[in-house]
Structure 1
Amino acid sequence: MATFATTPRFKADFKKLTREQAARFRAVVTDQFAPDVQKGEFRLGLRVKGVQGAPGVYEMTWAPDGRATWEYGDERFPGKPHVIWRRVGTHSIFAPGPL
């Protein structure tokens, strides 16, 4: 099975999710994303695609207004993808921050 890590920003974002949002994110990652990333093929419902202007960064839809960004890291175990979660929340995670 794939391995996972999180960035400090992801951890801060995750703390802002409602209890229901956090439970839904965990369920989607466990039941859909993790098996798909291991196979290297994502189901259409997750809408996995590259983030514009951020090479190597992907986004995944986990709810109607739930998004998470991630990237592949170096494998920790041969043949097991390593995913680094970068952001999680609503579509607003794509809004640029203050200049």
Structure 2
Amino acid sequence: MRYERTELFKADYQQLSEHERELFRAVARIFNAACDRFIETKDPSSWPASLRVKAVVNAPGIFEMNWSFSGPDGRATWQWATVVTSNGVSVPAVRWRRIGGHQIFRQP
């Protein structure tokens, strides 16, 4: 799955500890595979229950995934996007918006 990152995501990511970054990178691999399945099937059951993927309340088109409720709180917000490959083909992508704890929902 292709992706892009907002400036807020980049800043949030820099604030994470190395352990939190490792946790995110591990779940991102699982998330990427689920994105590919979802794009292919459009089946909501493509999302692993452990990632708790759902729409963000009062933020149309923005979704969250959550991989940890307890130390450290691990959440990220994202939305579907389209990117153009080097050969000019438009393909689905994920735009990572925010990452961190529950506070990211103030500006998802």
Which TM-score applies when normalising by structure 1? 0.86
SS in 1 for 2:34: helix
Q: CA deviation at 1:76?
A: 3.5
Residue identity over aligned pairs, in percent, reads 39
Deviation digits for residues 28-69 of structure 1 (CA, Å, limit 9, x no counterpart): 101x10000110120111000000111110000122221000
Give the unaligned 5+ runs of structure 2. Answer: 39-45
Runs of 4 or more above 2 Å deviation: 75-81
Quote the RMSD (CA, aligned, Å): 1.7
Q: Name the SS for the 2:80 alignment partner.
A: strand
1:68 aligned residue (76, 80, 91) = 76
Structure 2 counterpart SS, 1:87: strand
Structure 1's unaligned 5+ residue stretches are none
* Correspondence 1:1-99 to 2 at 5 A: 2-30=1-29, 32-40=30-38, 41-64=46-69, 65-76=73-84, 80-95=91-106
What TM-score results when the alignment is normalised by the length of structure 2? Answer: 0.79
Task: Give the Cα separation in 2 of the matches to 1:87 and 1:15.
Answer: 11
Instruction: Give distance in 1, aligned partners of 2:63 and 2:55.
Output: 4
